[in-house]
Chain A
Amino acid sequence: MAMQFYASPEQLMRDRSEFARKGIARGRSVVVLSYAGGVLFVAENTSNALHKVSEIYDRIGFAAVGKYNEFEALRQGGVRYADLRGYSYDRRDVTARGLVNAFAQQLGAIFGEQSKPFEVEVCVAQVGAEAAADELYRLTYDGSVSDEPGFVAMGGQSEAIASTLRERHDTELDLRATLKIAVDALASIGGENGNPRTISAAQLEVAVLDRTRPGRAFRRLIGAALEGLLASETTSGDAESEASSEAAESAGDTDSAESSDS
């Protein structure tokens, strides 16, 4: 007869935590940042088809690191939750907070009840009318939730990335500047001898929740649009004029959004 070994609850939970943390740290990182025009998602992801960043609802985006099948199941559940809630109540009744509660219950139950926890870390972001009204939630494998001010870094060496972001992040900046900060932060780790790497557009998955856009705010930045934004300031004159035209454009968008709302 096999012996039943006793393991204390503390030990069990510690083992599960360690297992999940190791799994999450193996992957590449994702960062989510508030900026003047909305919320920016940047993931290191060479796949065009398997997304780490996606749309949940009108003003809500999702980013995750860890095991793909596990966070994909969460994402699909989130889309189903949001669409069901929006259909049975109203589109405005779908909130990031409600979604985060469901995710937290789900992750917490799996962590407590099953022998293998989910090896995932998730960020749910809701874009507001201004950067101060953005909501960024970070969920970990055990179902704990934190409400992050301004930016979130997850996966890989997320602590090192977060410290770079902490120094440079500013919600007043435009999309181009914020994207540069995000990519610099991702590139700051993993290089040879501690040097920064270079990350090309093809290695990135980038999306924004555009606060000026009425209705569905989620938009992927791909191809030429992304390369244009990533182009360094060697042509700083162009960059400035583009940035100012972008500002003018988004001001126009705001006007149209207001007029269609009224």
Chain B
Amino acid sequence: MATGLGASGRFSNLFTAPGGSSFTEFLNLTAPELLPGRRPLPPGDHGAIAPHGTTIVAATYTGGVVMGGDRRATQGNMIAQRDIEKVFPTDAYSVAGIAGTAGIAIEMIRLYQVELEHYEKIEGTPLTLDAKANRLSIMIRGNLGAALQGLAVVPLFAGYDLDAIDPAKAGRIFGFDVTGGCWEDRGYSSVGSGSVFAKSALKKLWKPGLDETGAVRVLVESLYDAADDDSATGGPDLIRKLYPILTVVDAEGVRRLTDDEVGAVVAEVIADRTANPGV
């Protein structure tokens, strides 16, 4: 039963057992069918069955971190969706962006959001930023079987470290590989099909000591470059007013920039590129 309660409407012993503060472990005991990565797949490569999310970028600045994602989902050589959202707040001080099989990635992030909130409520205190990154890495590891059959999920994780000694450097970014490997990226990072181009742009444009506006501008530029050279990454869609999603995390928490704010930055970048498009 999806609510886990028995016919009597009472809590089973699992509900009142002391100690457990992981929602995933609780779900594993009460409703394992709701866990991602538990479905047996027939042999073969299934990468083409569902849409893929593409490029995610992130950059730190003095006092925080920004994460951005384009809006395109592709299935093979077709555009599956023009306005997909791939950057999600995962709790009050962290965000995750997803590249890979969109359905599985969104399910994983949804579980991850509950995991963080559940721990915070049960324990009365949130996880540290490093522990949050570690929990996400464990979830990716659980998906390895599906990943080897083409249904890979590779997120990018960023957050504001409330325990940081220097608040200027509290914005941090964590990258992952498909096996669950987790490492911290200094300054900026990117995942997804357009990440090669986005990273090259970030390498030239990002510098220490940027402010929020500077970091946002750098990310929009990098997504523009990724869309320029990678067919699976969508550029800003001026006709439909679909702009990249950009989410800022600072001491105040997570804040998604409005379409008007992002639209203004996009307009600046396009004006500059019109003057100098490159060849």
How many chain B residues sit at the interface, stated as a range, is 20 to 34
- B38 / chain A contacts, CB cutoff of 8 Å: none
Q: Report B26 CB to chain A, min CB distance, Å.
A: 6
A86 and B114 within 8 A (CB) = yes
- The answer to the question of B122 belonging to the interface, with a C-beta cut-off of 8 Å to chain A, is yes
- B8 / chain A contacts, CB cutoff of 8 Å: 105, 109
Give the number of residues in A that approach B within 8 Å (Cβ atoms): 25
A102 and B16 within 8 A (CB) = no
- The answer to the question of A101 belonging to the interface, with a C-beta cut-off of 8 Å to chain B, is yes
A84 and B121 within 8 A (CB) = no
Scan residues 1-45 of chain B and give those whose CB is less than 8 A from a CB of chain A.
Answer: 2-5, 8-11, 14-16, 18, 23, 26-27, 30-31, 34
- A88 / chain B contacts, CB cutoff of 8 Å: 2-3, 31, 34
- The answer to the question of A97 belonging to the interface, with a C-beta cut-off of 8 Å to chain B, is no
Proximity bits, A91-102, B CB within 8 Å = 1, else 0:
000000000011
B15 and A80 within 8 A (CB) = yes
- The answer to the question of B203 belonging to the interface, with a C-beta cut-off of 8 Å to chain A, is no
A79 and B10 within 8 A (CB) = no
Scan residues 27-84 of chain A and give those whose CB is less than 8 A from a CB of chain B.
Answer: 49, 51, 54-56, 73-74, 76-77, 79-81, 83-84
- The answer to the question of B124 belonging to the interface, with a C-beta cut-off of 8 Å to chain A, is yes
Given contacts A81-B3, A84-B4, A87-B111, contact A102 B122 (CB under 8 A): no
B34 and A87 within 8 A (CB) = yes
- B11 / chain A contacts, CB cutoff of 8 Å: 77, 81, 102, 105-106
Given contacts A51-B124, A76-B18, contact A84 B117 (CB under 8 A): no
A105 and B9 within 8 A (CB) = yes
Given contacts A81-B3, A84-B30, A105-B10, contact A49 B118 (CB under 8 A): no
- B3 / chain A contacts, CB cutoff of 8 Å: 81, 84-85, 88
Partner of B27, one of A81, A87, A89, A101: A87
- A81 / chain B contacts, CB cutoff of 8 Å: 3-5, 11, 15
- A77 / chain B contacts, CB cutoff of 8 Å: 11, 15-16
Q: Report A55 CB to chain B, min CB distance, Å.
A: 5
How many Å lie between the Cα of A49 and that of B124 in the bound state? Answer: 8
How many Å lie between the Cα of A51 and that of B125 in the bound state? Answer: 12
Q: Report B264 CB to chain A, min CB distance, Å.
A: 18
- The answer to the question of B110 belonging to the interface, with a C-beta cut-off of 8 Å to chain A, is yes
How many Å lie between the Cα of A109 and that of B12 in the bound state? Answer: 12
How many Å lie between the Cα of A216 and that of B91 in the bound state? Answer: 10
Residue of B15, B23, B110 with highest tally of chain A CB at under 10 A: B15
B121 and A55 within 8 A (CB) = yes
24 A-B pairs with CB atoms under 8 Å apart are A49-B124, A54-B124, A56-B121, A76-B122, A79-B118, A79-B121, A80-B14, A80-B23, A80-B118, A83-B23, A83-B118, A83-B121, A84-B3, A84-B27, A84-B30, A86-B114, A87-B34, A87-B114, A101-B9, A105-B9, A105-B11, A106-B10, A106-B11, A109-B10
Q: Please give me the 5 A-B residue pairs with the lowest Cβ-Cβ distance, nearest first.
A: A77-B15, A88-B2, A105-B9, A105-B10, A73-B16
